[in-house]
Chain A
Amino acid sequence: MTDYINIIVFFILISCGYFFGKHAEKNHYASINKREKKMLKIPTTNSRHPIGEIPDVMKSRLVHGNVVISVDYFKRILAGLRNFFGGPVRSYETLVDRARREAILRMKESCPGAGQIINLRIETSSISQGGKNTIGSIEVLAYGTAIFFYPEN
């Protein structure tokens, strides 16, 4: 009997993971798209030099944004199945995409008055890597140099 209960619990977890994960992802993408449009005003580059002709620089400082996003149960099981058959792990793609964009957004939002952000770097770190039975999550850190210009008169 325990076997059947375990199987039923497994499918309940899977469907919870699927519906909650889908809902969270939809909301997150809506938020990302909206905020990205808003943050377009701060040009960001990974180059060491600012883009184009710039006014006089008033100050510069280090800015960073980081995010941790957890994998839902459904995605994890799907990735596990992929692990068996091989092939692209599509279920993790949206996670990586969301985490990267969210980290950059947070970095930009931390310096609303900046003219540009240069020297952008993106890193993935891992909190849970290596440990057994730890939560599966993706962690992204974005950092760069925000430069502030003197107002043009």
Chain B
Amino acid sequence: MKYRPSLPEHNDNISHNQQFKEFLTLLSGLIAIFLIIFWALGFFVDIAVTHITPENEAALFSKFKPVIDLKLKEPSERQADLQAITDSLRECMEVPYPVTVRLAKSEQSNAIAFPGGTVIVLDGLLDKVKSENGIAFVMAHELGHYINRDHLQSMGRQIVLLALSTALTGTNSGISKILANAQAAGIARYSQQQESRADKTALQALNCLYGHTGGATEFFEALDLEEKGFDNKALHYFSTHPELKKRIANINSLRESMGFETKGVKKF
């Protein structure tokens, strides 16, 4: 038998399929599974939230300290003033537990409602909003989230998202870290529907406290003025807060439909 060197005609050791197609198929499958689980768990969170009584919430989160680089300020007169506004708003609204207001040093202007009844006001807000009514609206809006249990829902969904991403990508992955940071910051993301609902509750409370709803749009108008400098439509696209103009228009139409008046505002 003579040895004849030759090469195989066909390479059977490799698959001659399209890898890119395989990639797309697997990736879309994975995303679909992720979305289905997220949707289902989110649905359970919404149900579970309605079963958490305010007492339970207070017990669960009384020790809750937001682990963020928020520089909480020492108690001050301004903080006491904010607390007083919030307390008088509570008489108009059915917030089921006491709410504590804390000021934090920040260049951003925002107020964040944490579970357990702590509202942290980033003091950039006080530079933007000059009237008591304007501040009362922002506080009433946060209280509105408490009444509607939005803060628990959004926190629950964030926990679900974090758990899912950790399960898929591991605790040390970049995605999990980003989500964990957002989670620790307690920066709640609300849907546009939740925001509009809280705006409505806030308008009612403002009308109840002052007899009119002047100053309700002050904060958003100030933000709008500031943003005119930049044309950041892309940021708005991703934002859960409805675009400022739309939001102001929405508040105004709510005012009209509920027959609230607009009068002069008190200086803060």
Residue ranges of A at the interface with B (Cβ–Cβ < 8 Å): 1-4, 6, 18, 36-37, 40-41, 43, 51-52, 74-75, 77-78, 81-82, 84-85, 88, 90-91, 93-94, 96-97
> Is the CB–CB distance between A78 and B178 below 8 Å?
no
CB contact list, B1-37 vs A, under 8 A: 1-3, 5-7, 11, 13-15, 17, 19-20, 22-23, 26-27, 29-30
Residues on A with beta carbons closer than 8 Å to the beta carbon of B19: 18, 74-75, 78, 90-91
> Is the CB–CB distance between B2 and A40 below 8 Å?
no
Residues on A with beta carbons closer than 8 Å to the beta carbon of B13: 93, 96-97
Expressed in whole angstroms, the minimum distance between the Cβ of B23 and any Cβ of chain A is: 5
Residues on B with beta carbons closer than 8 Å to the beta carbon of A90: 14-15, 17, 19, 22
Interface of A is mostly: helix
Expressed in whole angstroms, the minimum distance between the Cβ of B36 and any Cβ of chain A is: 15
B98 at the interface (CB under 8 A from A): no
CA distance A81 to B168 in the complex (A): 10
Residues on A with beta carbons closer than 8 Å to the beta carbon of B238: 1, 4
Q: How large is the interface on B (under 10, 10 to 19, 20 to 34, 35 or more residues)?
A: 20 to 34
B23 CB contact (under 8 Å) in A2, A6, A40, A74: A74
A97-B11 contact in complex given A3-B178, A81-B27, C-beta closer than 8 Å: yes
Residue ranges of B at the interface with A (Cβ–Cβ < 8 Å): 1-3, 5-7, 11, 13-15, 17, 19-20, 22-23, 26-27, 29-30, 168, 174-175, 178, 235, 238
A18 CB contact (under 8 Å) in B11, B20, B26: B20
Which 3 pairs across A and B sit closest by C-beta, in order of nearness?
Answer: A81-B26, A90-B15, A40-B5
> Is the CB–CB distance between A88 and B2 below 8 Å?
no
> Is the CB–CB distance between B14 and A78 below 8 Å?
no
Q: List 19 A-B contacts (CB under 8 A).
A: A1-B238, A2-B178, A3-B178, A40-B5, A43-B5, A52-B2, A52-B3, A74-B19, A77-B23, A78-B19, A81-B23, A81-B30, A84-B30, A85-B26, A85-B30, A88-B15, A93-B14, A94-B14, A97-B13
> Is the CB–CB distance between B23 and A78 below 8 Å?
yes
CA distance A4 to B237 in the complex (A): 12
CA distance A18 to B20 in the complex (A): 8
Among residues of B, the one whose C-beta sits closest to the C-beta of A92 is B14
> Is the CB–CB distance between A37 and B15 below 8 Å?
no
